[in-house]
Structure 1
Amino acid sequence: MTQVMDVDKPREEVLKLYGNRLRLRVCGLYREEDRLLMVKHRGIGPTDTFWCPPGGGPQFNETAPSALVREFVEETGLDVEIGDMLFVNEFIQPPLHAMELFFHVRVTGGSLRQGFDPEMSADGQIIDEVRLMSFDEIKAYPPTDVHALFQYCQSMDDVFRLRGYLQ
């Protein structure tokens, strides 16, 4: 008997866990030569595809840098060292709303792999792919399919020059 995955399961879990409430997220920007590490999620956005830098929510009593180290391991298999905080982005895509703190990160170990989200069930996982992408690859997607930070940028260098509050 073949098991068919419920394609709406990830979206339902995302809405149940994160919908209609304000969430704090920490996100890391890791650049390798001319490519940026990106994670493809499903169950988010109008086209069910959403590319963004790795990150997630701190747990109670966990610092933002510690949370980002943990999130990188969970999502990408990489160990990182947290650098400067670069900017804050307010992500509003109802019913999702998050304040995102973006940090520069440096890889110190591990090996790149597609990770998982421990808050999601086994059949509701939202991480579809993890890979290094060029700026042109990122910008080739419709704006609804990539993080809004890229609307402020014309090059990969611009990503790392972003400062302050973005919305």
Structure 2
Amino acid sequence: MTEILDKPRQEVLKLYGNRLRLRVCGLYREGDRLLMVRHRGIGPTDTFWCPPGGGPQFGEAAHEALVREFAEETGLKIAVGDLLFVNEFMQPPLHALELFFDVKNLGGSIHQGFDPEMGADEQIIQDVQMMHFEEIKAYPPEEVHTLFQRCESLDDVFRLSGYLH
């Protein structure tokens, strides 16, 4: 069992560890629920919930990368709205500057996607769900993105601004 868990963690470290990474992330809301993706291979408990997103490829604009990442991870076709805030994610050996955008759904259906940078047996995306804020906050802090520690409601998430560290 440990080997199954360690393979994704090793792949995450190989691809993203010990270097600064740029990520684009989208906040998609339906009423009082937020779209979240559960990853393995990140954090001490091997469960990590965060909004969808990923790294732009060289020559790819941030909004184009976010559209691609949403399609890959969640099955949704989106329109990218305003830049809401920048977050510095630091959980050594992972370090990322994250650009968070408001996004709107243009179509598609939500389903668990994939990470094309990972092999079939190394996939880290474990689940994709629309979650109530209370569900997100019910997880231990190390199992959800740090931005949720700054918020007491879903509305607070969309009021975040500036540079967060």
Compute the TM-score of the two structures, normalised by the length of structure 1. 0.97
Please name the residue that 1:110 is paired with.
Answer: 108
Please name the residue that 2:5 is paired with.
Answer: 7
CA distance in 2, matches of 1:133, 1:152: 17
Q: Higher helix proportion, which one?
A: 2
Which residue identity is paired with 1:82? V
CA distance in 2, matches of 1:94, 1:120: 21
Please name the residue that 2:120 is paired with.
Answer: 122
Compute the TM-score of the two structures, normalised by the length of structure 2. 0.98
Where 1:26 maps in the other structure, the secondary structure is strand
For structure 1, the 5+ residue unaligned runs are none
Which residue identity is paired with 2:57? Q
Shift of 1:114: 0.2
Identical pairs, percent = 75
CA distance in 2, matches of 1:149, 1:163: 11
Runs of 4+ with deviation above 3 angstroms? none
CA distance in 2, matches of 1:107, 1:46: 33
Where 1:6 maps in the other structure, the secondary structure is helix
* Superposed CA RMSD: 1.0
Query: 1:30-109, aligned counterparts within 5 Å?
Result: 30-109=28-107
For structure 2, the 5+ residue unaligned runs are none
Query: Deviation per CA, 1:123-166, whole angstroms, max 9, x where unpaired?
Result: 00000000000000000000000000001100000000000010
Which residue identity is paired with 2:95? H
Query: Deviation per CA, 1:26-56, whole angstroms, max 9, x where unpaired?
Result: 0000000100000000000011100000000
CA distance in 1, matches of 2:14, 2:5: 15
Which residue identity is paired with 1:163? S
